């Protein structure tokens, strides 16, 4: 079945710096890769996603890149702000249309 590895598990940056979170997946048939942001005690919120026919997608300060050959995708956050502090999860689709999630990255942005 699909396996999704996410790194790093924690990431500390200064306000204004960039942050990059990386995920690898195992199923070459995966074709949809979302990223979720979860603040403490809250629900995960979809922040950006990418499909397999696209190499990069941007939405203001966040971007996702996908390398299907290498089976990895990354989340890039530029000009980080304290409110970006949260746990971020990547995911990839499986053959049954469900998602397999990575274990999460705790991002801490210090003012």
Partner 1 sequence: DGGITQSPKYLFRKEGQNVTLSCEQNLNHDAMYWYRQDPGQGLRLIYYSQIVNDFQKGDIAEGYSVSREKKESFPLTVTSAQKNPTAFYLCASSPRRGTYEQYFGPGTRLTVT
Residue ranges binding partner 1 (CB under 8 A)? 6, 9, 32, 34, 36, 42-46, 49, 89, 93, 96-104
The bridge status of strand 19-25 relative to strand 56-59 is unpaired
- CB-nearer residue toward partner 1: 1 or 111: 1
- CB-nearer residue toward partner 1: 74 or 104: 104
What six digits make up the tokens of 3?
A: 């396996």
CB-based burial label for 36 (10 Å; 0-12, 13-18, 19+):
buried
DSSP state of 84: G
- CB-nearer residue toward partner 1: 61 or 103: 103
């Amino acid at each position: 079945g699909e396996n999704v590895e996410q790194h790093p598990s924690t990431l500390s940056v200064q306000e204004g710096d960039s942050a990059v979170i990386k995920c690898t997946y195992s199923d070459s048939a995966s074709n949809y890769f979302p990223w979720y942001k979860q603040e403490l005690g809250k629900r995960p919120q979809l922040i950006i996603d990418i499909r397999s026919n696209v190499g990069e997608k941007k939405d203001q300060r966040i971007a996702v890149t996908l390398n299907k050959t290498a089976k990895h995708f990354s989340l890039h956050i530029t000009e980080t702000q304290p409110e970006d502090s949260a746990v971020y999860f990547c995911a990839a689709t499986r053959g049954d249309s469900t998602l397999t999630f990575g274990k999460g990255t705790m991002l801490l942005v210090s003012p």
